[in-house]
Structure formats: structure tokens, C-alpha cells
Amino acid sequence: MKKPLILIFLMIFLGASVSSGQINRQSAQKISFDFMDADVRNVLRVLAEVSKKNIVIADDVKGKVTIKLENVSHHEAFDVILRNNDLAKIEEESIIRVMTLKKFYEEKDRGTKERLEFIKEKEAKQKLEEEFVTETVYVNYADAADVEKMVRGETSAMAKDVVQAAGGAGAPGTGTVLVEKPKGLLSPNGVVTLVKWNSALIIKDTKDNVASIVKLIKQHDIPPQQVQIEARIVQATSTFSKELGIQWGANLKSQIRGEQVTLTGSRQIDSASATGDVTFTSPTGNIGSRPGTTGNVNYPYNVNMPASIGKGAGGALGLYIGSVTDSFQLDVILSALEANGKAKIISNPKVITSENRPARITQGTQIPYQTSSSNLGTNIQFKDAVLELEVTPHVVKDGNISMKVKAKKDQPNFDSRFGSVPAIDKREAVAELLVRDGETLVLGGIYEVTQDDQQSGVPVLQNIPLLGWLFKKITKTDNKTELLIFITPTLIRNLYTEKRDK
């Protein structure tokens, strides 16, 4: 092996002058060499060294070379050796890759396929771009961000992934129902852009797809239904609800012994004085019953009351629910009871809200208290002690209104103070229920207990020191009043609500 290597270098340097040019067919540099039974990999490395080229030889390149060439270029010598050994090369700038013919054609075919696929993809994309149209859609009533998410197929207020089955979690045979996640309305190359400042969507997609998306948006972009929420806040005696004849119940659902329990009436109770049997049932059987129950349960509407509230100083908020069907008759009865001193109408606010938007009614006082600091001196700040009612209506078919009601009663507790600041007793309850349009819902169970001390006795004698107690007495009276909240939702109808009901 040493003899051929020495021979080739002698021929190169004793022959024509060596130039610094690269291996190519126009190279003026000529070489002569004589190899006998030499390893082809070594011969290729020698040629690469002479031509100042980097060479990468595949692992499967093998063979022997016996060859004698005189006065040939680097390129010609390289080609002759490759052909005689079924090899091929690929030149990439200053690098020569040497491989077998089989691998060469495989790589060539793969490159050809990739180029063809690239050309086809480019042509298809160009053709698709030519078919795309752009349209701007202005969202007038719905939330433009929610509409954009709907078009993209993302989770939004208009597309929920999970809904709760009727009966609620924990009831046998019911539970969470998975809803297929929306896939979006755009084609794979479609684009939607949200313009927040004018609530517009810029949609770029195929002509047919844009038309379908615009049509769907216009179907949902309608004025939201308006609901008037009228609240009557009444302070009454503990027997007020019986005198009024409120229909307590409404198919109440609760938990007994870890099971979902439904409270129903065995027959309709038409008046507050009538009685009927109330039965507790569950999916696994009858749990118990209570005969002779007073009330009315002729409206089988679901009620969800997730939290029970304990007692606090000065009152309790154990929320219970009833209904009154005739709002006009209710006003007449309330006025009559107020005239007899049985009730006092504290306020009668009315608010109008869109469906799925909360309406808040707040009534109460702000308690002032002093704060002091070294920098600001003495300041007056306020604490809220209010009755707050929050109602979120949702209009369903057949004139029914689903409502989420949140009642909160905060009042000062002067028996518990921090300095001069009284503690605030907080009571809160949440209910989800269904009522008819114009029907009045009653929230009760907000009690307040006050004590009155009255002194009576014999005139003059009752004022004698020490002996006066023999001629007088003090009567302590506990007065229990109940705060009732009457909520009447009324659907405000317009052209769009009439179309929707149809």
C-alpha cells in the first residue's frame, strides 16, 4: 500500500504544476497514478486530499481498486473509480458524498417525491387562496369574543363542554354528562380575527364556509330577552305566611341518608288551612312520610339549594321557598295586612336586566367607624350592613323563567365589637329554581328577634326605693319578625322573543 501512495505523490509533484483550483471538468491540473489491489475508501480519500475537497463516504462503500491512469484530471479519475465500483457521488458545495448506486437512486427518488409534493402543495395552496373570500361581520348584541371562540371551536359561554344531568350529582343513575367539544366552523386554512373596538369579526375562508358562518352568527346575534325583576321586601309577624296563604314547597329536592330525595304532595292542597300527606321518596324506594302537612305543592318545579346556613346572633337565615300565583291579589293582601299592623312593606324596587345577566337589589345602612394612622390622622370609614338580593334569570320555552337567586343579609352585632366597630353577622343562601312568567317567588326564613321590657305597677308606690319592687313588675317580651322577599320575574316581550317562542 505504501508503494502506490508514494508513486501517486511523485507523479503529481514531478508532473504538471499543482494548481489550487477545485476538482471539476474544467480543471487544468492533471495527475497520473498506478494502484494495484488498493482499498477503494483509501483511494477516494487520497483524491479528496489532492483536490482540496471534503469527502463523506458511506459505511456500505467497500471494494478493491486496480487502476493505472496518466495525465487525467481529478474529476475524470474520480468518475472512473466510482463507475468501476458501482458507486455514485453527490457534490454539495465543498463536500463530496460517496455512496452505492442503490442508495443514490433511493435518495434521488425521495428527493424527487418531496419536490413534487412541495410543488403540489404550493399549487393547491395558491388555488385555495384564490378561492378564499374575506368578509367582515359586526356583532351587535352577543359578546364578540364569545362568537369568535364559537367560530374557532374553543370553549366559551356559548359552547359548554360539560352539563349537569337532571337530578344533580350524587343521585343514582345520574351524574355528569360529557358533551362533544365543538370542532369549530373554519376550514383548516380559514382565519378569523376579532376587532374589539367595534365588535367585528373578519373572516377569511372559502366562499361557502364564510356564508355558513355569517348565517349562523346572524341567527344567534339577536337582542337578549329582557326580564323585569320586581322585589317586595316585607317585614312581617311569624304568622304572616299562614294568613297570606303562601304555597310552600315546589317539589323540593334534598339529601337524606346520602340519597337524592324528592318531596311531593300526595294530593293538591288548595288553601293554607287544608292538609295533605307529604311523602319522601328516592330512586331506591320510600324513605318516610309525614301525614297532615299544611302547604301547597301543585307546581312540580325543581329547586336546588346547595348550602344551609346556620344561626347567627340576632336572627337566622334558613332559606325556604314558596310561590304566589296572583301578583295583583298579592298587592291587595299586603296592603290590607300592612293596614292591620301584621306586615310592613319596607321597599318595592323594580329592575330590568337581560337574561343571563345578574340583577342586584341592595338595601341597608353603612355603619361609620373611625380609623387613625400617624400619616393620615383620623378618618371615617364605613362598613356595609345590607340586605342584598341578586337574581340571574334565564328564559326557557313555554314562558318559564329559570332563576339563580342569591340572598345575603348582613347586620351589625353590637354585642361583639372590636374597639368601636361592631361585628357584622353575615348570612347567605343560594337557590336555583324554575318559575312561570309573572309568578311570584317567596323567600322566607330570615328571622329577627328583639326583646321589649315593659314596666307596670301602682302609681307612686312603685317609685319607693327598695319597697317599690313590691308594687311593680317588668314584662319581657320576645318579638319575632320574619323578613319575606317576594320576587316576581316578568318577561318583557318584543319581536325577537315572539319569533324565538315560535
Q: What is the pLDDT of residues 271-292, one digit of tens each?
A: 333 333 444 343 444 333 344 4
How far is residue 239's CA from residue 224's CA, in Å, rounded to a whole number? 41
The CATH number for 7's domain is 3.55.50.30
Q: Edge-to-edge strands of the sheet including 285-294?
A: 253-256, 259-265, 275-282, 285-294
**Same domain assignment for residues 337 and 426:** yes
pLDDT higher at 382 or 253: 382
| CB burial readout 425-454, b (16+ within 10 A) else e | bebebbbbbbbbebbbbbbbbbbeeeeeee
pLDDT higher at 181 or 398: 398
Is pLDDT at 12 greater than 80 in this prediction?
no
Residue 421 belongs to some domain of the structure: yes
**Same domain assignment for residues 194 and 265:** no
Residue 124 belongs to some domain of the structure: no
Residues of the chain with pLDDT > 70: what percent? 63
The CATH number for 193's domain is 3.30.1370.120
| Mean pLDDT value across residues 364-376 | 74
Is pLDDT at 447 greater than 50 in this prediction?
yes
Residue 367 belongs to some domain of the structure: no
Average pLDDT, the chain: 69
Is pLDDT at 347 greater than 70 in this prediction?
yes
- Among 434, 433, 441, which residue's Cα sits nearest to residue 304? 433
* Radius of gyration, alpha carbons of the chain: 45
How far is residue 146's CA from residue 164's CA, in Å, rounded to a whole number? 21
pLDDT value at position 263? 38
**Same domain assignment for residues 413 and 352:** yes
Final residue of a structural domain among 77, 103, 129: 103
Contact partners, residue 462, CB within 8 Å, separation at least 6: 455, 468, 471, 472
**Same domain assignment for residues 293 and 353:** no
Q: In whole angstroms, how far apart are CA 180 and each of 145, 160, 162, 213?
A: 21, 9, 9, 20
**Same domain assignment for residues 258 and 312:** no
Residues of the chain with pLDDT > 90: what percent? 3
Question: Ranked by mean pLDDT, which of 162-166, 236-240, 363-367, 468-472 comes out on top?
Answer: 363-367
**Same domain assignment for residues 239 and 320:** yes
State the pLDDT confidence band at 311, using cuts at 50, 70 and 90. very low
Residue 371 belongs to some domain of the structure: no
pTM of the model: 0.49
Q: Are 167 and 159 in contact (CB under 8 A)?
A: no
Upper half-sphere CA count for residue 277 (Cβ side, 13 Å): 7
For the segment 75-92, what is each residue's pLDDT rounded down to a tens digit?
Answer: 888 888 888 888 888 887
The least confident of 25-39, 104-118, 153-167, 270-284 is 270-284
Residue 470 belongs to some domain of the structure: yes
Question: Ranked by mean pLDDT, which of 35-44, 421-430, 447-456 comes out on top?
Answer: 35-44
Per DSSP bridges, beta strands 162-164 and 303-304 are: unpaired
Is pLDDT at 26 greater than 50 in this prediction?
no
| Mean pLDDT value across residues 405-419 | 77
**Same domain assignment for residues 42 and 19:** yes
Q: Are 178 and 238 in contact (CB under 8 A)?
A: no
pLDDT value at position 130? 60
| Mean pLDDT value across residues 158-175 | 38
| Mean pLDDT value across residues 187-216 | 88
pLDDT value at position 202? 92
How far is residue 52's CA from residue 47's CA, in Å, rounded to a whole number? 9
| Mean pLDDT value across residues 288-309 | 36
How far is residue 12's CA from residue 33's CA, in Å, rounded to a whole number? 8
The least confident of 103-112, 192-201, 254-263, 397-406 is 254-263
Is residue 155 classed as helix, strand or coil in its secondary structure? Answer: coil
Q: Which residues pair with 274 in a beta bridge?
A: none
- Among 261, 265, 260, 233, which residue's Cα sits nearest to residue 248? 265
State the pLDDT confidence band at 17, using cuts at 50, 70 and 90. very low
Q: In whole angstroms, how far apart are CA 283 and each of 172, 175, 277?
A: 7, 14, 20
Is pLDDT at 28 greater than 60 in this prediction?
no
State the pLDDT confidence band at 2, using cuts at 50, 70 and 90. very low
Q: Which residues pair with 120 in a beta bridge?
A: none
**Same domain assignment for residues 292 and 329:** no
| Mean pLDDT value across residues 466-487 | 76
Contact partners, residue 39, CB within 8 Å, separation at least 6: 1, 63, 64, 65
Q: How many structural domains compose the chain?
A: 4
Residue 16 belongs to some domain of the structure: yes
pLDDT higher at 221 or 265: 221
**Same domain assignment for residues 193 and 257:** no
Residue 133 belongs to some domain of the structure: no
Final residue of a structural domain among 298, 316, 332: 298
Final residue of a structural domain among 83, 103, 123: 103
**Which domain does 333 fall in, by range?**
228-248+300-361+388-501
**Same domain assignment for residues 83 and 166:** no
pLDDT value at position 238? 64
Q: Is 16 exposed, middle or buried (0-12, 13-18, 19+ CB in 10 A)?
A: middle
**Same domain assignment for residues 318 and 448:** yes
pLDDT value at position 304? 37
How far is residue 440's CA from residue 451's CA, in Å, rounded to a whole number? 32
pLDDT value at position 321? 54
pLDDT value at position 63? 84
How far is residue 165's CA from residue 175's CA, in Å, rounded to a whole number? 6
Q: Are 243 and 397 in contact (CB under 8 A)?
A: no
Is pLDDT at 314 greater than 80 in this prediction?
no
Residue 383 belongs to some domain of the structure: no
pLDDT value at position 7? 43
**Same domain assignment for residues 91 and 152:** no
Upper half-sphere CA count for residue 46 (Cβ side, 13 Å): 23
pLDDT value at position 138? 92
